Each structure stands twice: as C-alpha cells, then as structure tokens.
Amino acid sequence: METKHAYLLSGSAGHSLSPVMHNAAFGELGLDARYEALSVTQDELPEVVARLREGNVYGANVTIPHKLAVIPLIDNLTPEAQSVGAVNTILNRGGELTGHNTDLTGFLRALREDSGYDPESRDVVMLGAGGSARAVGLALLRVGATLGIANRTQSRAEALARSLERYGHVAAIRPFDLGRAVQRASLLVNTTSAGHETHGAGQLPLPHGFLPREMVVDIIYRPVKTPLLVAAEAAGLRTQNGLPMLVYQGAEAFERWTGQPAPIEVMFRALRGAL
C-alpha cells in the first residue's frame, strides 16, 4: 500500500514542530504516512497546492503567509474557514480540496480541556489584530464572551472589531483605556509576536503591571514561558502557552485526514520532548 503524505505549507518551515507532532501520531496508530514541512514562496504556491490533489496525499496544514492565498486555489471552504476568512488545514478527498480552519476549536479545546477554563460570559481582552486574532476572537464571541481588542495600530483593532460585530459584543480598546480594560477583564489573550524567542524576545506586549483578574493565555510556545506568562505567574494568575492550541488544532486536522481519533497525549509528549 502506498505511503500517504501530509504537509505544512509555510513561508519558513525550518522551526516548525508540526512534523514532530504528526509523525508521532502516525507512528502511534501504525499508519504508513509521513508529514513534511515545506517552505513555499508565493510563486510556488499554486503548483504545490495542485500536488495536494494526488491520491497519496491526505492534505496540508497552512500557516503564514499562505492562509489567505490558498483560498482561490482550492474548491470549497467550511463555514468556519469562511467566517475566519483564512484556511489553516486543507483536506483532499478524491482530488477535491476543502479548506478548514481548526484554530477556533483548537483554541477553545485548549482553554477548556487543558486548563479547565470556560470563557463563556467572561470579559476578555485580546492583544493583536492579525489572522490568529481573528480566529481566537471569533471563538470567544461564539461562546458568549465580551471582547475588547487592543493593537499597536489602532485602526487595525477597529477594523477587526467591526468585522466581528455580527458575532457578539466586541469593541476596539483605545490606548489610554488599555490598563483599565485589562484589569477589569477576567482573561487576557496575547496573539502578537511580543515575547517570541526569534521575533520579539524579551518583550512584553503591554506595559508592566497590566494584568487581568483570572487568567493569561499567550499563543506563543517558544519560549515555553514568555515574559507575559512569567509576570502573570508571579501575580498568582493561571496561565497557558500556545502548545495546547497547537496540539488541539493539529489533532482536528489529523482526524479529518485519517478518519481516526488523534492520540492527543502522544502528540503532547512529542512536542514537549522537542522544546
């Protein structure tokens, strides 16, 4: 039987942990399959996506900068992908490609199953207004959270808030209101690169001392503890990094490709061993 393949389509795939996670899962279930991370330029993208239609390919994960660019190259979008306006998973079924977005459920499962925290009806402040922020914000609004969005460029926060208005109570936070909004919130979520080991090492995404009442989530997983999470722990707050979200969004993709339950604990163990 022919080996099946899945891929990560990225602008720079060298540091991705997705192959570690997915290949561990394939091995655990005894599947003859391999996951490979590909660095793909915009010019190469159409040809690479076309190859996903081949019979020995499950599909692909998609990350920066291709989450929007793949949309005109595939055949269908799920309602989640349509709502987010971005694709992070492609499923191949008989040569037909469907775009999914598993970041929404991945974020919520991480909060609820890994941390035992339910954001329903909570006041939440989200830092950032990029692609990940849209998925996280939509997930929070769908479960009834009240969302405030803060971004270094105020116009981007306002634009994202307007685009999410139909889903619930959301507003952009003005810079001079940020401290008060964060301290009033139950949950703070950072979706920016501040604190990332290569893109924002040592940085805090907001002024020191601005912390919520209950929990801080930083979707970065390198380093395991960002400066924001260190500060939150020192203040006695619950914290979560981006590793659980990575696992749960990857697990949903795995299950869509293979039709089998993802071995969650194996995926966690493989990632923790690689960090």
Was 98 annotated as part of a binding site?
A: no
**Which amino acid, residue 195?**
G
Was 92 annotated as part of a binding site?
A: no
Was 39 annotated as part of a binding site?
A: no
Q: What are phi and psi of 137, to 5 degrees?
A: -60, -45
Beta-bridge partner residues of 240: 217
Was 242 annotated as part of a binding site?
A: yes
Which residue, among 241, 214, 245, has the nearest Cα to 230 in the 3D structure? 241
Helical H segments across the chain, by residue range: 18-28, 45-51, 79-84, 103-109, 131-142, 154-164, 178-184, 227-234, 243-258, 264-274
Was 234 annotated as part of a binding site?
A: no
Was 203 annotated as part of a binding site?
A: no
Q: What is residue 158's DSSP assignment?
A: H
The answer to whether 243 and 222 are in contact (CB under 8 A) is no
Was 85 annotated as part of a binding site?
A: no
The answer to whether 230 and 200 are in contact (CB under 8 A) is no
Structure tokens at 274: 């690689």
Gap between the Cα atoms of 231 and 246, Å rounded: 23
Q: Which residues contact 156 (CB under 8 A, 6 or more apart)?
A: 129
Was 17 annotated as part of a binding site?
A: yes
Was 81 annotated as part of a binding site?
A: no
Was 115 annotated as part of a binding site?
A: no
Strands 57-62 and 89-93: antiparallel
Was 264 annotated as part of a binding site?
A: no
Was 163 annotated as part of a binding site?
A: no
Is residue 97 helix, strand or coil?
A: strand
Was 41 annotated as part of a binding site?
A: no
> Which residues carry out catalysis?
67
Was 56 annotated as part of a binding site?
A: no
Q: Which residues are annotated as part of the binding site for shikimate?
A: 16-18, 63, 88, 103, 221, 249
Q: Which residues are annotated as part of the binding site for NADP(+)?
A: 128-132, 151-156, 219, 242
Q: Which residues are annotated as part of the binding site?
A: 16-18, 63, 88, 103, 128-132, 151-156, 219, 221, 242, 249
